[in-house]
Amino acid sequence: MSIINYISMIAMPAIILIIITYSLIEKNKVYDNFLEGAKEGVSIVYNIFPTLVGLFVAVGALRASGILDVIINFISPVIEGFNIPKEIMPLAILRPISGSASMAVATDIMNSYGVDSKIGQIASVIMGSTETTLYTIAVYTSCVKIKKTRGILMAALIGDIVGMLVSVIICNIL
């Protein structure tokens, strides 16, 4: 367990170190390149901010009104067999559909149940290990104007479900 924590801890600094050292040996303009990328980072956050405000309000209102608990309790018997905490369900449902909405829900979950609690960790791992499946499929099929997708949605969603189940299992073990 401590090894897993250690690898998690050193992964980011190690990668940064390797990249900078390698680039330096190549005699690239390391800092100029850094600034170029960092600028793009600003524009990403700038672009996502309005979405965040809109969705945080919507998701926050859903929770405060009490309707979220009603829905969660309604579906909980189905998922409790899999040992999945019911609090995760809103995230699991929204994750393949919308990147920004699932980000708002995940943040809300981490905030409400504790970022370092088991539920908070599961939400983190699900966010990190899955993608916005529906959006990805839509972008890549529409750019070549293809209509017949041969069950690719099923394959991708099965992958998502497995990823979520494994997230729950791993967090239950740790």
Partner 1 sequence: MLNILWPIFIIVAFVYAFFSGNVDKVNSVIFESTKNAVELSLTFLGTMCLWNGIMQIAYKSKLIDKIVKLLNPIIKKLFPEINKEKKIKKEIAMNMVANIFGLGNAATPLGIKAMKSMQEVNEKKDTLSNSMMMFIVINTASLQLIPTTVIAIRTSLNSNNPTAIVTPVWGASICSIIIAVMVTKIIIKRKKRN
Interface positions, 35-74, toward partner 1 (CB under 8 A): 35-42, 44-45, 48-49, 52-67, 70
Among 15, 74, 75, 78, binds partner 1 (CB under 8 A): 15
Q: Check if the beta carbon of residue 112 is closer than 8 Å to that of residue 63.
A: yes
**Residue 151 region, left (φ>0) first, then alpha (ψ -120 to 50), else beta?**
left
76 contacts partner 1 (rule: CB under 8 A): no
- Kindly give the residue spans of alpha helices, DSSP state H, lying in 29-117: 30-65, 67-80, 89-94, 99-113
d(CA 123, CA 34): 31
9 versus 78: smaller Cβ distance to partner 1: 9
Q: How is residue 63 written in tokens?
A: 């929770």
160 contacts partner 1 (rule: CB under 8 A): yes
Print the binding letters for residues 118-157 with partner 1: x by CB under 8 A, - otherwise.
--xx--xxxxxxxx-xx-xx-xxx-xxxxxxxxxx-xxx-
Q: How far is the CB of 1 from partner 1 (least distance, A)?
A: 10
